């Protein structure tokens, strides 16, 4: 595989992350999103499938490792958002007892929006790490790249 192919794959994975983030934003905004568009497990999203699959060949590069933590964190934040908006939690018992669904729903929405801001911040960190990896790949000579992969 040559540099152009690797960069094309990396850019496609990066675009997939940006699309994933857009689906998460839509979800918090109340726009229906099909479940398979915003996968919960970080290894199952399109970016994760690249990073933990073909992207592993780049794992010896110094910038590669900086991607893992923010990527996994994004999915952990998303799980919290999803549970707030759709999951059962301890507060559901209070909803049944007191019927104050609208107050709880508003609180959940506000909390989900705050978590979304955190998700967007972590996404920025992830995109910076991806850009560093892309630049590191660009800076490699063909010979150096051949040693890596």
pTM above 0.85, yes or no: no
DSSP state of 56: G
What pLDDT, on the 0 to 100 scale, is given for residue 88?
54
Q: Which domain holds residue 143?
A: 3-148
Tens-digit pLDDT profile for the chain (149 aa)?
A: 899 999 999 999 999 999 989 988 998 898 887 766 666 788 888 899 999 999 999 999 999 999 999 999 999 999 898 888 877 554 444 444 344 444 456 778 889 999 999 999 999 999 999 999 999 999 999 899 999 88
Rounded to an integer, what distance in angstroms lies between the CA atom of residue 141 and that of residue 60?
15
What pLDDT, on the 0 to 100 scale, is given for residue 94?
42
Count: domains in the chain: 1
The two structure tokens encoding residue 30: 């109340």
Rounded to an integer, what distance in angstroms lies between the CA atom of residue 91 and that of residue 74?
24
Rounded to an integer, what distance in angstroms lies between the CA atom of residue 61 and that of residue 17?
21
Rounded to an integer, what distance in angstroms lies between the CA atom of residue 141 and that of residue 127?
24
Q: 3-state class of 61 per DSSP?
A: coil
What pLDDT, on the 0 to 100 scale, is given for residue 98?
41
What pLDDT, on the 0 to 100 scale, is given for residue 101?
47
What pLDDT, on the 0 to 100 scale, is given for residue 57?
95
């Amino acid at each position: 595989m040559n540099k152009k192919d690797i960069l094309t794959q990396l850019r496609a994975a990066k675009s997939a992350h940006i699309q994933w983030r857009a689906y998460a934003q839509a979800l918090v905004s109340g726009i229906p999103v099909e479940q398979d568009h915003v996968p919960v497990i970080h290894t199952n999203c399109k970016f994760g499938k690249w990073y933990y699959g073909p992207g592993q060949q780049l794992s010896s590069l110094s910038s590669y490792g900086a991607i893992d933590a923010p990527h996994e964190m994004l999915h952990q934040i998303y799980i919290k958002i999803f549970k707030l908006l759709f999951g059962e939690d301890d507060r559901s018992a209070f909803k049944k007892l007191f019927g104050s669904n609208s107050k709880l729903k508003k609180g959940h929405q506000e909390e989900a929006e705050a978590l979304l801001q955190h998700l967007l911040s972590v996404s920025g960190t992830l995109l910076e790490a991806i850009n560093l990896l892309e630049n590191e790949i660009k800076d490699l000579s063909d010979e150096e790249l051949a040693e890596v992969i």
